[in-house]
Chain A
Amino acid sequence: MADARRADVCAVALAEVFRGDGEILANPIGNLPMIGGRLARESFEPDLVMTDGEALLVQNPMPVGVDDPPKVIEAWNPYRAMFDIVWSGRRHIVMGPVQLDRRGNANIAWIGDDAQRPKVQMLGFRGGPGNTISHATSYWVPNHSPRVFVEKVDVVVGVGYDRAAELGSVARDHAIPAVVTNLAVLDFDNDERSMRLRSVHPGVTVDDVVAATGFALDVPDDVGESRLPTDAELALLDQIDPSGLRFGEVPDP
């Protein structure tokens, strides 16, 4: 595994967020999350269902960055049908937050303090509220920095653990299994349900992650190292991402 690069470690960490999910719609948004999801399905989670990024469910590992890849079409899934899946709870999405706070509240909509005149307009609410109240939502942050990991998000689009706890049973399906970044893997697996450092990627120190985070992280005594890809996983990554888009998204340190 001497050949494993940081982007490969991120891809494996993103694949790992789907471990144990079984037959649900794995819906990673963006190139590296997509690569990770397809890696999971081709290795340890064969029952995962995935889309072609549009209105079809496709069974084969369509390579990323390839024009008109072959598709083994399983089913038709237009936008309207996607809400049937979202609201059924049988889905796990990976979203890219603009801001994320200590309790997992996420912002993808806009930056600023005036909703009618934002400093920077981003995506809008999109599916953030529906995703986070209906099924598991993990996050992918390619550039771990205090600008993303903030004490307080400007607007809560994705529900965090504090808000979910206030809601009670109606939020029973809320879960944030993992936050994967270019530096580390984080989760909320502590009593307070606040962001906890689970593992640092090889070559990254705990202090690096703490310095790049704009709030007080829960740092356990025994922070491990994110695992390296196996040889088989590296071979799969080269099939799923033949042009190496992942290395553009996460350059080597």
Chain B
Amino acid sequence: MPPRDKRMTEDEVVSQLESGMTIGIGGWGSRRKPMSMVRAIARSSLTDLTLVSYGGPDVGLLCALGKVKKVVYSFVSLDSIPLEPHFRKAREAGAVEVEEYDEGMLLLGLQAAAWRVPFLPTRVGLGTDLLALNPDLRTVQSPYPDPVPDEFEEYEELIAMPALRLDAALVHMNRGDAHGNGQYLGVDPYFDDLYLCAAERRFMSVEQVVPTDDLASLGPLQTLRVNRLMVDGVVEAPGGAAFTACPPDYERDEELQARYAAAARDDDAWAAFVAEWVQG
């Protein structure tokens, strides 16, 4: 008996999301972002979203279209264009709230949620303004004595990075089957499996849906990073990460990305870009 078929469309994914949700978006910068699902959100009536992302055009697009209440972030970049211009514009207009973290703290927050612990301890953030900027961020004292004897205090005070629990997670993989097993074929898995494990509702788009039995022959076994315990819905979306990079299937569409970025400076160009690339 084969397991159930989880295939659905981007619009069916959106129908399972609600305004006000906290949504984690996989990929990294302008790399392997689940843009076909992000564009479906952009076309929807969803609003007041909180995004958790190693941010790229996913964050910029949804901020520019007024879908976002808050961004939980460490950076938002288009890689070849280091600062995401739409996110920058929203920030400088005070149009979105932010919760800022070091990029390693985002990893710990997702990992804590995935492991269902309330926090993970870290040195990261100590001595910086993160504690002042995030009044909800707490420290915790180690119950164990300092392993390195010196003239300082005996029990280290560490940051307690809170679990970043997600209502939903969206990721894009190179290959997958109809049941939610997923495979990345590029050089980096990024944090996609962690986003899925940190979320209540989990959606994965793939370049191509293949029979389960094909997956192991398409790449080294280590590329089978996502299993069906982590996924509720599978979207077959060829080109679904464009214009971000999705090697080996395709590189970043730098020309399209440059047009997207330049449109941040010109309302007419932005309207035309949205009509063509988001609504179209």
Listed in ascending order, the chain A residues whose CB lies under 8 Å from chain B are: 54-56, 76, 78-80, 83, 86-87, 109-110, 114-130, 132-134, 155-160, 163-164, 166-172, 174
Chain A contacts for B103, CB-based, 8 A: 125-127, 130
Interface of B is mostly: loop
Determine the residue in chain A with the shortest Cβ distance to B71. Answer: A124
Chain B contacts for A130, CB-based, 8 A: 102-105, 122-125
| A68 smallest CB distance to B (angstroms) | 12
- Is B221 in the interface zone, CB < 8 Å from A? no
Name the residue in A132, A167, A170, A172 with the highest tally of chain B Cβ atoms < 10 Å from its Cβ.
Answer: A170
Contact A169 B124 (CB under 8 A): no
Chain A contacts for B152, CB-based, 8 A: 168-170
Chain A contacts for B274, CB-based, 8 A: none
Contact B156 A169 (CB under 8 A): yes
Could you say which of A55, A83, A122, A160 contacts B104, with CB atoms under 8 Å apart? A83
Q: How far is the CA of A156 from the CA of B77 in the complex (A)?
A: 21
| Chain B contacts with A in 138-159, Cβ cutoff 8 A | 146, 148, 150-153, 156-158
- Is B14 in the interface zone, CB < 8 Å from A? no
Contact A155 B129 (CB under 8 A): yes
Could you say which of B97, B104, B127, B190 contacts A159, with CB atoms under 8 Å apart? B127
Contact A116 B97 (CB under 8 A): yes
Q: Can you identify 13 A-B contacts, CB atoms within 8 angstroms?
A: A54-B188, A83-B107, A117-B94, A121-B88, A125-B101, A129-B102, A130-B102, A130-B104, A130-B124, A134-B123, A169-B146, A170-B152, A172-B150
Q: How far is the CA of A109 from the CA of B105 in the complex (A)?
A: 15
Could you say which of A78, A79, A115 contacts B133, with CB atoms under 8 Å apart? A115
Determine the residue in chain B with the shortest Cβ distance to A133. Answer: B123
| Chain B contacts with A in 147-197, Cβ cutoff 8 A | 148, 150-153, 156-158, 187-191
Could you say which of A56, A121, A157 contacts B187, with CB atoms under 8 Å apart? A56
| B146 smallest CB distance to A (angstroms) | 6
Q: How far is the CA of A156 from the CA of B187 in the complex (A)?
A: 33
Contact A169 B148 (CB under 8 A): yes
Contact A124 B73 (CB under 8 A): yes
| A38 smallest CB distance to B (angstroms) | 21
Determine the residue in chain B with the shortest Cβ distance to A134. Answer: B123
Q: How far is the CA of A115 from the CA of B70 in the complex (A)?
A: 13
| B191 smallest CB distance to A (angstroms) | 6
Q: How far is the CA of A117 from the CA of B96 in the complex (A)?
A: 8
Contact A157 B128 (CB under 8 A): yes
Q: Could you list 18 further interchain pairs (A-B, Cβ under 8 angstroms) beyond the known A55-B188, A130-B102?
A: A78-B187, A78-B190, A79-B188, A83-B104, A86-B104, A115-B133, A117-B92, A119-B92, A120-B92, A125-B100, A125-B130, A130-B104, A130-B105, A130-B123, A163-B127, A166-B127, A169-B152, A171-B127
Could you say which of A80, A119, A122, A124 contacts B107, with CB atoms under 8 Å apart? A80
Quick one: CB contact mask for B84-117 with A, threshold 8 Å, 1 for yes?
A: 0001100111100110111111010000000000
Q: How far is the CA of A157 from the CA of B152 in the complex (A)?
A: 24
Contact B124 A156 (CB under 8 A): no
